[in-house]
Amino acid sequence: MTFSLHGVGVSDKIAIGKAHLLAHVSLEAQHYLVSAERIANELERFDRAIKIVQAEFNELRVSLDSDAPAEMSAILDVHSMIAKDDMLVQASRDLITEYRYNAEWALSEQVNELMAQFEAFEDEYLRARKQDVMQVGTRIMRALREHNVRSAAETASPQTFDHDTILIAHDIAPADMLQFKDRALAGFITDVGGTTSHTAIVARGLGVPAVVATGRAREIIYEDEWVIIDGENGVVLVNPDELLMAEYRALQVEQRMAQAGLNTLVGQATLTTDGKPVALYANIERPADVSDVTRVGADGVGLFRSEFLFLNRSSLPDEAEQFEAYKTVAASLNGKPVTIRTLDIGADKSLSTADYVISLNPALGLRAVRYCLARPDMFLTQLRAILRASAFGQIKLLLPMISGVEQLRAALNMIEQARTQLREANIAFDAKMAIGVMIEVPSAVLVLPALLPMIDFISIGTNDLTQYTLAVDRGDSEVAHLYNETHPAVLQLIAQAIAATKKAKKSVSVCGEMAGDAKLTRLLLGFGLREFSMQAAQILTVKDRVMHASAKKSGKYADAVLALHEQSAIRAHIKDINSLKM
């Protein structure tokens, strides 16, 4: 019998294959007390398991391919740090020593305690990180049990399949996902997760169709059942009949042919049908990502998220390390622009340094430029590094989460201090380096006419602009249905920001998820946008949409969208825009 499950689609691709269920090591453990003379032996068993897990993480990190998702290395680092953390390791050892718990009991007790602590956080993103603790705990438990219980990694032995395989699991640790990378993996489905979960992030980077947050997929889908993943609609079809299979196979063939055709666009000028040039930039996290930028023929880097240099380490990167990273990217692009965003810490990204304190409400607390202005020494170090790198390429500096004139003026004063320090040290830099701000909060849009005379460009961060406009935590599954980038208020703010910036004859780009969503390309063109910045994997799809759109006609239909106030009508109108031949 055919039935469907609904969840969160991670990609807009289709996957067809047979289900392969992944078991996971339960943290339920036999509870017993060890004798006093056996405590040392139990500690040795526990310590050996920790070493095995650390070796696994090291091996996975070393074996990462150049085309692995940019976030993968950072995720492995996070899990490795959890496996070393005293709150897990030493606390478990203390339970063994003081209460004579067996190692499995001590581990499960401490993992459950840590998960309860994460669950108590108000911030949804931090609550979701309990899954990281569970995934690491599962690995350690597996090592303790000497691999007697099959786990996700163990079922991923290097066997081959006669058909494309769709993995079904309650959850899949990103590290375990890498075990399947070179096999016939068509896609995967999980019970838990969300758009910001690590599993979803890795899936996007690998380009694997997936649906997460299905609730009960692992419970009600059986081994070897045929499954269809409709990533665009977040739908899973189980035991599809012949008619459904034929329909989706035809769609899958169309997708593959379309992707092959997109590769021919590399190197072609990006022009609308009425001759308007459009720049398509890539978002990156690390210098190594430049290879992806070059591969798709991007016009440069529209967003270098510099915070990835700061994450998952006990000490901050010094000026020399930052300078080398920024210089490497700038020099590698041979004159193409590189926009470096200053440290955007807070919300879903936290430092691991001893002095870093997570705000009560991270999304509204000491975040991004607020944090930098509160730490002037750290901020000046980064500003000097960026300025020094500007002597080796076309670098632009981007200030995140600016909310008003006074805040911008304070940041600009810090930039001038950094310039003065470099001049006094006779260190070269680009004195005319462009400076811009991210538009992520409604207040920035409302005071934009006052900000524009002080800067050279703006970049609209649609993810946070949507979140702050609608007062919806985009990581909270309870209100995820309320997070909508095409809400009339959000569209009005985006259009208003683009119009004000163009009137001031300054440049404007969009670097949020909307930029990479081809369904919204014509709408943004209609708003007057001519610079898009997105994940490298999305560039060719958006390029194709641009080259089949008229800027003038898109403008006419975009004006009609701005006159609408009901979401259903807006969605219908956007669909109509995309169906038109231009």
Residue 23 is classified by DSSP as: P
What is the Rg, in whole angstroms, of the alpha carbon atoms belonging to the chain?
25
Q: Give the dihedral of Cα atoms 38, 39, 41, 45; nearest 10 deg.
A: 130
Q: CB-side exposure of 196: number of CA atoms within 13 Å?
A: 17
Report the distance separating Cα 397 and Cα 326, nearest Å: 11
The residue to which tokens 């009508």 are assigned:
569
C-beta of residue 501 within 8 angstroms of C-beta of residue 508: yes
DSSP state of 382: H
111/423 Cα distance (integer angstroms) = 53
| Cβ-based neighbour number of residue 95 at 10 Å | 20
CB 207 within 8 A of CB 235: no
**CB proximity list for 463: less than 8 A, separation 6 or greater:** 474, 512, 513
Crossing angle of the two packed helices 103-119 and 130-144, in degrees rounded to 10: 170
Rounded-to-integer distance, Cα 317 and Cα 348, Å: 20
Q: State how far the alpha carbon of 575 is from the alpha carbons of 181, 310, 534, in Å.
A: 35, 41, 22
**Calpha distance 567→573 (Å, rounded):** 10
1: three-class secondary structure by DSSP? coil
Q: Which residue type is seen at 185? A: L
Q: Which residues are marked as active site?
A: 198, 511
Residue 211's φ and ψ, nearest 5 degrees, are -130, 125
Distance from C-alpha of 399 to C-alpha of 410, rounded to nearest angstrom:
11
Q: Among residues 473, 461, 293, which one has the least CA distance to residue 368? A: 461
* CB-CB contact of 556 with 526 (8 Å): yes
Three state DSSP letters for 406-453: HHHHHHHHHHHHHHHHHHHCCCCCCCCCEEEEEECCHHHHHCHHHHHH
